[in-house]
Structure 1
Amino acid sequence: MKDKITRVETYKVRIPRDTPYLGELNKDEYVNANGYFVRGANKSIYSIYDQSLLVKITTESGKVGWGECVAFVGPEVTEAIVKTIIEPQILGRSPIDVVAIYEDLYNAMRVRGYFGGFYLDAISAVDIALWDLKGKILKKQVCELLGASETQKVKAYISGLPVPTTSERAEMAKFWQDKGFDAVKLPIVLNVNEPEVEVKSLRDAMGKEAKILVDMHWRYTSLEAINLIERMNQYDLYLAEAPVKPEDVEGQAHVVRSVKTNVGIGEELRTIHEYIPRFVNRCMNVIQPEMGRIGITAFVDICRTSMGFNQLVMPHASIGIGIFQAASLHASVTLSNCVYHEYQHSIFDKNLKYLTGNMSCSEGYFYLSQEVGLGVEPRNEFLQKYTY
């Protein structure tokens, strides 16, 4: 007899930071009463805290699965969706049927236009928790459930060089290179020199074999992006991420047709239905799916479909305590076209202590935790101190 879901609990995470994500605020940026601010450089809202939403699902036998979704803005919104819309639909069902549950949850709101945003974020946390539960019930790692267990590591690239000057950023890049990481990404719209100067500085410091990536934060028109990428590519740019606005499908395709380096997009997309027109129109040659926004079921669907369009996979890693990161790693080791996974060293390293298990990142690779399911769970002391 299948074990059935009896309880769904949510925990809103709020962890103080010494400095806001992506660095100190500029003089014209201010924090509002809810702890949020807008970055002038990319017009996006951020929190002064590390925030996410955890979901704990319990079965009648007492087994527990943990999920997490991206919620660094408005975790209360995502929590309300889980508790009022999703929980009543999954009580009494079996975690073994996780893919069917995902499809049912998606179908429940699709004709009302909720095929993105907070609703899909909420589904992703539940989906991850159900895969974790399924692994625990069947006594297998999630990567085994997805069809691959021999490989237990994923190549990592360094994301972010949070120091104030060009020379210090080059020094930090070289520091990580000496630790075994051969690729680094810099957000070029935030508090940096001329982008081509930054790329040249990194190239001079790291040598010709290193891979240099830039995050363009959807800031440019297609023509602006093309001209800027060409200037940076004098120094052998490996990838330009998010060059134009997310909705500008034709602009994305125009950039890809016009430049001689990889173009990556995807962290903002939630479903295969959003990816398909971008695959068909060749809007990228690298996809960057964000596990904390899509969940394991959609992640695998998107990445396996990408193989039919000769895409590379380099998963995005957003702000969280590491549960959706673990899910992303388990899915990534099953993909032959996954070449790197983002390593947010300023987030991942400091939050590892909040989790059980032995997930890690060193010498250029992420390593999976060896326990069944996802292999990680939040520690009780963390839940008591940093959730509400």
Structure 2
Amino acid sequence: MADGLRGVNPDVSGRPASGGSGTLPGMKIARVESFRVVAQRDYEGSAGLRAATVEASGSSRPRALARNDGRHLCVYPAQAEVLLVRIVTDDGLVGWGEAHSPPIPRVAQALITDLFAPQLIGRDPLAIDAIWDALYASMRLRGYGTGVMLEAIAGIDIALWDLAGKALGQPVYRLLGGPYSTHIPCYLSGVPGATVDDRIRAARGFVAEGYTAMKLSVGRGPLDEDLDGVEAVIEAVRGDADVLVDAHGVYDARTAVAAGRRLERAGAGWFEDPLPPEDVDGYAALCQTLDIPVANGETECNRWQFLDKFRKRAADVILPDVCRAGGISEGRKIALIADLHNVRWCVHASISTPIHLAAGLHLAAATPNFLLCEYPQSFRTTPLANALVETPLRPVDGFMDLADVPGLGVSFNRDVFRELCLDEIDWI
């Protein structure tokens, strides 16, 4: 069905598009809706990391603290929470998007409901760039050019691209000018295990599944202990897989250099987010100092932030998140500006649904400087991911293959959707 929900009455969900099916002339946006979906998750445990779970002050909702050393506190929801966006045209065609907004999806939802939806009703849904500019401009002079504002825009933008693909009967990657390839290389993010031996066994298991790259985290314990564990995993899969290392922005400059030198000697594939994201000059110096590729960029939300990074040569590889950095439209601009500066990019994905991953995959297929797609461990463990859809997104031998189907190619399982959705639904 055009809605992406199996078994829904076409009069409610919208009819499938086949080469446009006469849906294009005069097509207008009729409804803009968003839905919070939530499920149990296993994020920190899956990554083999230390974490604490505490009750948020003044709230009965627990929050898992991914980094709790004081200065580098990062709050994650105890459950997986995302915001899905549904845009419906006046003739019933439906597009789906996702806003990556943990742990506060209600904030992005309020922006969409109160600020964006009134601007969208009655507009041509194929005017995607014009709509993006209008949404961005609506709060630009008040300083809202990043963060949850761009996450909310991303949800709208991705839904519009999905809708456009369905209206035109084409996959999104073809609308973007691709594909360069629909055979997308992936790395497994988050090697599970409470001990180093556990993680070695898990890493070898991933090699047996066909993965040629995987990511480990550091920065949660003593430096030597962290790096000893990483080196052991690297040695265990040497010659079969690259091990990428993520420090989550917790090091100072001296520690980052020391860690980077050691990772170079060990043969790590890249060193991700060693410094706080605001330290662009520090990243530029680190890129000049280290031989190991320095990767960053998952926190940046627009092309101007990335342009500053490129001009200063502050990244060897960038990791824009399509559901955080303004959606497919802005992600494409970021990727092409990166290409002008001879920088490769990778899809960043986290606790999310297949809408998020599919949006990144379609963008990857349509850009010349794409390198790797992150495949989060959470996609193997949480029902928010593959259990939510009719056709799971799973790499085979370390690759994802994009089908030649309209839009993003994601169809929800309506029963699971209803079970996980926190908001009222009137179209199932």
TM-score (normalizing by structure 2) = 0.86
Pair 1:196-2:220 in alignment: no
> Counterparts of 2:180 and 2:248 in 1: how far apart (Å)?
36
Q: In the alignment, what sits opposite 1:304?
A: 336
Q: In the alignment, what sits opposite 2:283?
A: 252
Pair 1:217-2:241 in alignment: no
Say which of 394, 412, 421 aligns to 1:360.
394
Q: Is the 8 A contact 2:351 2:378 kept in 1?
A: no
Structure 2 SS opposite 1:233 = helix
Structure 1 SS opposite 2:55 = coil
Q: How does 1:248-287 map to 2 (within 5 A)?
A: 248-287=279-318
Shift of 1:346: 2.7
Q: Unaligned regions of 5+ residues in structure 2, if any?
A: 1-24, 423-428
Shift of 1:29: 4.2
- The code of the aligned residue for 1:331 comes to L
CA 1:127/1:53 → structure 2, altered by over 3 Å: closer, same or farther? same
Q: Is the 8 A contact 2:169 2:406 kept in 1?
A: yes
> Counterparts of 1:204 and 1:25 in 2: how far apart (Å)?
20
Q: In the alignment, what sits opposite 1:344?
A: 376
Pair 1:382-2:405 in alignment: no
> Counterparts of 1:17 and 1:106 in 2: how far apart (Å)?
32
Structure 1 SS opposite 2:126 = helix
Q: Which has the higher contact order (CA 8 A, sep 6+)?
A: 2
Q: In the alignment, what sits opposite 1:206?
A: 237
Shift of 1:337: 1.5
Q: How does 1:1-388 map to 2 (within 5 A)?
A: 1-17=25-41, 29-32=53-56, 33-39=60-66, 40=68, 42-149=72-179, 151-190=181-220, 194-208=225-239, 210-294=241-325, 295-347=327-379, 350=382, 351-357=385-391, 359-388=393-422
CA 1:358/1:371 → structure 2, altered by over 3 Å: closer, same or farther? farther
- The code of the aligned residue for 1:12 comes to R
- The code of the aligned residue for 1:70 comes to H
Structure 2 SS opposite 1:377 = coil
Structure 2 SS opposite 1:111 = helix
CA 1:323/1:307 → structure 2, altered by over 3 Å: closer, same or farther? same
Q: Is the 8 A contact 2:180 2:368 kept in 1?
A: no
CA 1:96/1:348 → structure 2, altered by over 3 Å: closer, same or farther? farther
CA 1:21/1:174 → structure 2, altered by over 3 Å: closer, same or farther? closer
**How many percent identity over aligned positions?**
30
Report how many residues are paired. 388
TM-score (normalizing by structure 1) = 0.95
> Counterparts of 2:374 and 2:404 in 1: how far apart (Å)?
21
- Structural RMSD (CA): 1.9
CA 1:19/1:296 → structure 2, altered by over 3 Å: closer, same or farther? closer
> Counterparts of 1:20 and 1:230 in 2: how far apart (Å)?
26
- The code of the aligned residue for 1:344 comes to P
